[in-house]
Amino acid sequence: MKPFTLALAASALAAATLASGSAMAQSASSVPVIARGSTLLTVSADGRSTRTPDLAVYSAGVTTQGRTAGEAMVANSAAMNKVFAALKQAGIADRDVQTSNINLNPVYGQPMMGPNGQVMQEPRIIAYQANNSVLIKQRNLKAMGGVLDALVNAGANNINGPSFQIDNADAAQDEARVAAMTKARARAALYAKAAGLRVVRVISISEGGGYSPPMPVMYAKAAMADAAPPVAVGEVESAISVTVQFELAP
């Protein structure tokens, strides 16, 4: 049995050596290969581009209350049907309206307190509150004030947003990418000149960042049914950051 045992040990040692060599090879291959005497420079830069938004996303809904859960939900459904009808009449497509939240919660009364401040009776459920909200994509921003006014007139008592966006942000992001790379190259050339070197080539590029819409303020005058709320769309920004490795040489 000893020769067999020695053979097994030798095989295990060979396998371990092979695995170690493979790991070392993988580790070595992950390091950028540059010419002898060259220097590796890593530079980070960011690029930005702005656009006027062409899409607004906001939510609208109805909160109702009833003595029972069923009563609250029935009232809420009737009110939401009016909201859906108002959206359709305002020209909002079905694909741009999506239910985002439905909830039903009990409403508790005040606890009964004793003369010494102790709780004599725990709070009781005195009603139920139902809420239904939809997420709306507004593509015609000029008509947004009128749509909000129509929602309020239809019974919507919860309106939140908007978030202004670019429907297709690819062009803006590509513009930001070019700006980021231009800045990175200029920065690399500056470092190279200061060190008495020159930029030979780009070794690697990694990207971060992306589309970042702001949250402009919407001035909603819900109490004034005869006045559409003013909406300022402003601008949205696409920001891209890049990390670039350059090879520098004398």
Residue 161 DSSP SS3: strand
Residues recorded for the chain? 250
Is the bond preceding residue 213 a cis peptide, omega within 30 degrees? Answer: no
> What pLDDT is attached to residue 207?
94
Is the pLDDT assigned to residue 64 strictly greater than 90?
yes
Report the range of poorest mean pLDDT among 48-52, 91-95, 201-205, 212-216: 212-216
Phi, psi (5° rounding) for residue 160?
-135, 140
Our measurement of the distance from residue 69's CA atom to the centroid of its chain's CA atoms, rounded to an integer in Å, reads: 35
Instruction: Please identify which residue in the block is written with the tokens 């694909």.
Output: 95
Longest dimension (CA), the chain: 99
Q: Which tokens go with 94?
A: 């079905």
Is the pLDDT assigned to residue 5 strictly greater than 60?
no
The tens digit of pLDDT for each residue in 10-58 reads 444 444 444 445 444 444 446 677 778 889 999 999 999 999 999 999 9
Integer CA distances (angstroms), 216 to 71, 147, 161, 233, in order: 37, 18, 8, 7
Give the confidence band of 116 by pLDDT, cuts at 50, 70, 90.
Answer: confident
| Rounded-to-10 torsion of CA 152, 153, 155, 156 | -20
Average pLDDT estimate for 180-192 = 97
Pairwise pLDDT comparison (125 vs 26), residue with the higher score: 125
Long-range contacts of 185-189 (CB under 8 A, 24+ apart): 185/244, 187/43, 187/45, 188/41, 188/43, 188/244, 188/246, 188/248
Instruction: Please identify which residue in the block is written with the tokens 């009603």.
Output: 127
> What pLDDT is attached to residue 124?
87
> What pLDDT is attached to residue 229?
78
> What pLDDT is attached to residue 210?
62
Q: Which tokens go with 39?
A: 């220097």
* CA-based nearest residue to 183, from 48, 40, 51: 48
Average pLDDT estimate for 187-204 = 96
At position 93, the amino acid (one-letter code) is A
> What pLDDT is attached to residue 142?
92
Give the confidence band of 138 by pLDDT, cuts at 50, 70, 90.
Answer: very high
Is the pLDDT assigned to residue 226 strictly greater than 80?
no
What structural domains and CATH numbers belong to the chain?
Answer: 32-51+169-249 (3.30.110.170), 55-165 (3.30.70.2970)
Average pLDDT estimate for 145-170 = 94
Q: How, if at all, do strands 39-51 and 158-165 pair?
A: unpaired
Pairwise pLDDT comparison (192 vs 2), residue with the higher score: 192
Q: How, if at all, do strands 39-51 and 236-249 pair?
A: antiparallel
Q: Find out whether 201 and 247 touch, Cβ atoms under 8 Å.
A: yes
Give the confidence band of 120 by pLDDT, cuts at 50, 70, 90.
Answer: low
Indicate left, alpha or beta for 186 from its phi (over 0: left) and psi (-120 to 50: alpha): alpha
Average pLDDT estimate for 215-242 = 67
Phi, psi (5° rounding) for residue 25?
-65, -40
